Structure 1
Amino acid sequence: MSLIPSIDTLLGGGLRQGQLMEITGQSSSGKTQVCLCSAAHVAASHLGVVVYLDSSNSFSPRHIARMIDEFPISLDNEPKHVRLNKVMSSIICESIFDIFNLFEVLHQVELSLKKKVNNGSSKICLLIIDSISSLLAPIISGKYPQGRSMMLSLAMILKKLADEHNLAVLVTNHMVAGNGAPKPALGESWKTVPHVRLVFSRDRGSNICTATVLKHTLLASGRNCMKFAVPS
C-alpha cells in the first residue's frame, strides 16, 4: 500500500499488510499529512476500507479532496464530487478521546473484520491511529499504575489484528526531549513493537521533509534517508 512515492521507494514497497508501521517526528514534520495521503490512496485505489482513528482532531476531508485530485489514478472521469464521495465512503473516521475509547473501538474493528470474512463484503485493509502517543502518554506517566501493561496489551491487539486479518496498521508517535536530541515517546518497551519505524524531520521554513529508517525487517537502520515534499 502506498504512502507517498518517495517513501515507498525508501521502504521498497510502502505499507505492508500484516505489519505495524510507526511514523515518529516532531510537530509539523509531516506525520499526519502522510497518514491522510495513505488513507486517500488506499480508498481511491479501491483496495478496501480504511479506519482512521483520530485522537488529535487532525482528519481533514478538505486535504483528502485536494490529494485525490493529484493522484495519477483513473476513476472513470467522474465529476469531482462523485469521486470524493466514493473515496470518503471507504474511509471510516472515528474521534478517539482516551485509551479506553481506543480499546472499545478496536474491539468493534475486530468484530467487523470477522464479519467481513464471513459475508465477503469490502474488508478493512488499513488501520491508522493518529496519534497513538497522545493516548498512551497520559497512562504511562504515573497516573495509572497499570499504564505500561495497558500499553503492551494495546501492542498485542494491534499486532494480532495485523497478523490474523492481513491488515496494515499505521500509527504516529510524537518526540520528547532526550539527552542531547529529541527521541520517540513511549520509551524502551514500545520501540520493540512496530515492525517498521520511520522518523520524520522537516526543513525549517519549507515543505521538504526527511524520512529516516529507525527500524525495518529488511533494511539497515539509520542509513536510509529520503527527502520528500509534504502533500498539501
Structure 2
Amino acid sequence: MAPLKSMEKDHPLIDTHFQSFFEDFLLYDLHALIASADNHSSSNTFKQGIDQLLSVIDAKLPSLRNGLQLLQDAECNKLLLPTGFQGIDALLGGGLRAGQLTELVGPSSSGKTQACLTSASTVAKNGGSVIYFDTGNSFSPQRIADLVGQTSGYVVGNQAELGPLQRVMERILCYSVFDIYQLFDMLQQLKINLKSKIVESDHRIQLLIIDSISSLITPILGGSGPQGHALMISAGYLLKKLADDHNIAVLVTNHMVAGEGGTSKPALGESWKSVPHIRLLLSREYGSNVCNISTLKHPSVASGRAAKCTMYL
C-alpha cells in the first residue's frame, strides 16, 4: 500500500490503521465499503478517511468537458493509421484512429494476427513506430518481411534490397508478454518512457498492439473473487489513457468462446465489452483466404456494417 502510505503525512486520517481497513479498496463497491465501516469500532474516523481519500482522487481527475470541447479534441486527434486492408479501413473510416482502442474479435485462424502484423508493417512503412506485445509467440519477422516484400515490389532475401525492410523492422519493437502482471509492468514503463520522450527519438510511437489481450486476462477471471475483474478493468483503463494522453492508436485481439445455445461470443464478458471504442468481428470460412469483417461497436458507424478482404494466412 505504498501510494496510500505516502499520503499519511499530508492527510492524517489516512493512517496505518485506516490503510489496514482500506487495503482492498479497489475491489469493493463504495456503498459496501461504507457499510463495512459502519460495523467497525472506528466507524466515524474511517468514514472521514474515505471522504478525504475520495476528495484527493477527485482533485486528480480531469475536469468534465462539454460537447464542443470533445468535438475540438476529436478534430485535433484525428490521425488515421491505414491497416493495409481496404475492407477494414473502409469500416473504420480510413484506418485505426489515434486516441482510441480498437478490438479485433474472432475465432482461431480468422485473421486477427495477420491483421496485427499487416497493420504493424503498414504503419512502420509510413514512418511511424509500433510497440507490439506478443502474448502467444505469434509474431513472425518473416511474415513482416513477406508483407513488406509484397507491397514494396522487391524480393525478400535480396541483400541489395535490405534497406527498406531494415527500416520497417527497426520501427517495430516487439516484446513477449505472458501474464497480466508483466503487461502492467510493460505499460507503466511505456508510460514513463512516453512522458520522457525516450521512445520517440527518431519516430513517434503511433501504434500499440496486444495480440492477444484475452490470453492474458482469461486466466485471472476464474474463481469467485473480484480481483480478476478489477485487474481487467484497470488494464483497459490504462490502455485507453495511454491512447488518449499520447495520441496513440491501440489495437488488441480477443478470442471467441461458447455462448448460450452453442453460439460463439467474444471472451472477457459483458464488463469488457464497454472498454474498446471500436469492436470488429472477423470470420473466415475453412480453406478460404477471404475474411469477413463486421462492426460490433463503433462510435459513428452502425453495428452490423460488413466488408470483405483477402488475407494470406
Give the C-alpha shift of residue 5 in structure 1: 1.6
Q: Which residue of 1 aligns with 2:149?
A: 69
Q: Which residue of 2 aligns with 1:182?
A: 264
**In structure 2, which of residues 265, 279, 285 is the aligned counterpart of residue 197 of structure 1?**
279
| Structure 1 segments unaligned to the other structure (5+ residues) | none
Contact 1:208/1:229 (<8 A) preserved:
yes
Q: Which residue of 2 aligns with 1:206?
A: 288
Instruction: Flag the 1:170–1:83 CA change in 2: closer, same or farther, 3 A.
Output: same
Q: Which residue of 2 aligns with 1:33?
A: 114
**In structure 1, which of residues 158, 171, 188 is the aligned counterpart of residue 252 of structure 2?**
171
Contact 1:113/1:123 (<8 A) preserved:
no
Q: Which residue of 2 aligns with 1:105?
A: 186
2:146 is paired with a residue whose SS is: helix
In the alignment, the residues of structure 1 paired with residue 252 and residue 216 of structure 2 have an alpha-carbon distance, to the nearest angstrom, of: 11
1:58 aligns with 2:138: yes
Q: Kindly provide the amino acid, as one letter, of the partner of residue 66 in structure 1.
A: D
1:176 is paired with a residue whose SS is: strand
Q: Kindly provide the amino acid, as one letter, of the partner of residue 175 in structure 1.
A: M
Give the C-alpha shift of residue 10 in structure 1: 2.0
Give the C-alpha shift of residue 120 in structure 1: 6.0
Contact 1:30/1:202 (<8 A) preserved:
yes
RMSD: 1.9
In the alignment, the residues of structure 2 paired with residue 136 and residue 117 of structure 1 have an alpha-carbon distance, to the nearest angstrom, of: 28
Give the C-alpha shift of residue 168 in structure 1: 0.2
In the alignment, the residues of structure 2 paired with residue 118 and residue 68 of structure 1 have an alpha-carbon distance, to the nearest angstrom, of: 23
Contact 2:194/2:200 (<8 A) preserved:
no
Contact 2:193/2:199 (<8 A) preserved:
no
Contact 1:34/1:231 (<8 A) preserved:
no
**Normalized against structure 1, the TM-score is what?**
0.92
Mean Cα deviation higher: 115-124 or 200-209: 115-124
Give the C-alpha shift of residue 122 in structure 1: 2.3
In the alignment, the residues of structure 2 paired with residue 156 and residue 169 of structure 1 have an alpha-carbon distance, to the nearest angstrom, of: 12
Q: Which residue of 2 aligns with 1:149?
A: 230
1:32-71 C-alpha deviation (Å, 9 max, x unpaired): 000000000000110x210000001110010001111222
In the alignment, the residues of structure 1 paired with residue 133 and residue 298 of structure 2 have an alpha-carbon distance, to the nearest angstrom, of: 24
Q: Kindly provide the amino acid, as one letter, of the partner of residue 116 in structure 2.
A: C
**Normalized against structure 2, the TM-score is what?**
0.69
Q: Kindly provide the amino acid, as one letter, of the partner of residue 222 in structure 2.
A: S
Q: Kindly provide the amino acid, as one letter, of the partner of residue 52 in structure 1.
A: Y
Q: Which residue of 2 aligns with 1:42?
A: 123
The structure showing larger relative contact order (alpha-carbon pairs under 8 Å, at least 6 residues apart) is 1
Contact 2:105/2:280 (<8 A) preserved:
yes
Contact 1:117/1:123 (<8 A) preserved:
no
In the alignment, the residues of structure 1 paired with residue 243 and residue 182 of structure 2 have an alpha-carbon distance, to the nearest angstrom, of: 20
In the alignment, the residues of structure 2 paired with residue 144 and residue 66 of structure 1 have an alpha-carbon distance, to the nearest angstrom, of: 46
In the alignment, the residues of structure 1 paired with residue 258 and residue 153 of structure 2 have an alpha-carbon distance, to the nearest angstrom, of: 41
1:228 is paired with a residue whose SS is: strand
Give the C-alpha shift of residue 140 in structure 1: 0.8
1:93 aligns with 2:174: yes
Q: Which residue of 1 aligns with 2:90?
A: 9
Give the C-alpha shift of residue 221 in structure 1: 0.4
Flag the structure with higher strand content. Answer: 1
Instruction: Flag the 1:86–1:120 CA change in 2: closer, same or farther, 3 A.
Output: closer
1:130-163 C-alpha deviation (Å, 9 max, x unpaired): 0000000000122864110000110110010010
In the alignment, the residues of structure 2 paired with residue 163 and residue 27 of structure 1 have an alpha-carbon distance, to the nearest angstrom, of: 30
Give the C-alpha shift of residue 72 in structure 1: 5.6
Instruction: Flag the 1:147–1:118 CA change in 2: closer, same or farther, 3 A.
Output: closer
Give the C-alpha shift of residue 118 in structure 1: 10
